[in-house]
Each structure stands twice: as structure tokens, then as C-alpha cells.
Amino acid sequence: MPKPYLLSEINWKTVQSTSYQLAILPWGATEAHNYHLPYATDNYQVEHIAKRAAAKAWAVGTPLILLPLIPFGVQSGQLDIPLCMHLNPSTQLAILRDTVDTLKRHGIHKMVILNGHGGNNFKTMIRELSVSHPEVFVCSVDWFKIGDQSMFFEEEGDHADEMETSAMLHIRPDLVRPLSAAGDGATKQYRIKGFKDGWATAQRPWTTISQDTGTGNPKKATAEKGAAYLDEVVKELSDFFVELAKNESLFV
């Protein structure tokens, strides 16, 4: 049966009879994830989380609509890796402008960009949207920053690592190659102190810093770890959707 909060499943009759207050836009990426995870890893993860969190929020009366996933992200540091699909940030902003304009026309004045890719950064775009479309409140959430990952995983990383591999073993184990086929995710570190300390930033040239496109060793990943962490993420995110939809003011 179609779910009334999934735009991809419902029809015009359902949309006409429902008053939505909050739109969720999942945004992923299509890129290499070491040797063992699929190119669409970020998309599978963010859509899985979005659907579960939206379902929980809808079940307690939150009038939200989950928009279809945007599957491509910023890959400017990986242009030499075949079929890493790249969108410029300016292209992302154009997509967001048109999306927000459509929502405004149809009476939806709040939107969450649910981000599933570390290379996407929507902060400056949200600033521009607040000028061009002040009637619509736009925010972004990086789902992978929710909760304390150290409570669930032993190895640190940020790409095709223990966390992402565990998540995919839970979500789509049929698409995960044996962990014996994975690279170790060893990553070259910056030489210069400012970059190492985090107060200076630059784009990472991916094939220079990693032999297998991973950053972080995935070998200790399990489906059980992935399920436990994603349960926490979904709960926190669902609560956020509920609060955001019902509160007119963000400040006390």
C-alpha cells in the first residue's frame, strides 16, 4: 500500500487531500566506496534513514512529505576516478532554488535537506536561499553526524569505513562484497599543522591520499553494529522532524 508521506508512491488524489507542513529532501552521491561497497552507498543509506524517520514522524501526526532522492553530489576531488558523478555546488544551488520555489507555491514553508555525502556542504546555499526565498525555512542535516559513533564502532574513518560498511551490511547485504576483498582504507595525513589541527581546510585529492578510495578500515564491520547505530540515528532524526514541523519559532 502506498505510504502517504512518500511522494514517489502517492497520487494526486492523496496530495490534494493532505496539508503538508514539512518537506524532506534526501541528497546523496554516486562514487567509489573502496572495493567492497557499491557506488550508490550514500544513496541507499540516506534513503533508508529518511524513509524510516519519516514513517516514525508521520505515525505521531507530523504532516511531512518525503521528496525523491537526489543521487549525485560534489565529487570535485575525485574527477579522476571513473564514474564518480559530479555536480558543482552552483548546480546544487540551482536545484535547491527550483525545489524551494515549487514548495513555496504549494504552501510548504519548511524543508530539511537530509545529506548523505561528506562532500556536500549546503551551508552557504542555505544563506543564499534565505535571501531569495525568505518565506521558506531551509536547514540541512548530515545524518552521519548524529550520535556518538565511538559507542558503536572501533575503527575511525569517514568513507567506506567500519560505520558505512556496517550500515550497508544491515541495509543491503546483497550488495556488499566479502570484507576480505576490501582495502584497509589507509589514508595519508596532511604534513602541515594547520590542516592536521583542522583550522585550515583544503580539498583532498582522493587518489593521492587513498589507494582504495576508502578512509578507515572496514574489516570489523557487522550488520548488528549497523542496525544498532541506525536505530539511534532514525530516532533522533524522527524527533527532529516532529519538533521542526510543530514549532513556529525556533527560539525560546
pLDDT at 194 over 90: yes
Give 8's DSSP letter. Answer: T
**Cα distance between residue 60 and residue 57, in whole Å:** 6
Which long-range contacts link 105-110 to residues 24+ away (Cβ below 8 Å)? 107/19, 107/20, 108/20, 108/21, 108/22, 108/23, 108/65, 108/136, 109/21, 109/135, 109/136, 109/137, 110/21, 110/22, 110/23, 110/136, 110/137, 110/138, 110/244, 110/245
Which of the four pLDDT bands, split at 50, 70 and 90, describes residue 19? very high
**Reduced to 3 states, what is the DSSP secondary structure of residue 217?**
coil
**Cα distance between residue 223 and residue 237, in whole Å:** 21
**pLDDT, mean of residues 77-96:** 97
- 604534513: which residue's cell? 191
Question: Could you report the per-residue pLDDT of 60-83, keeping only the tens digit for each?
Answer: 999 999 999 999 999 999 999 999
**245 exposed, middle or buried (CB, 10 Å; 0-12, 13-18, 19+)?**
middle
pTM: 0.97
**Cα distance between residue 95 and residue 101, in whole Å:** 10
pLDDT at 245 over 90: yes
- 514553508: which residue's cell? 109
Question: Could you report the per-residue pLDDT of 123-132, keeping only the tens digit for each?
Answer: 999 999 999 9
pLDDT at 159 over 90: yes
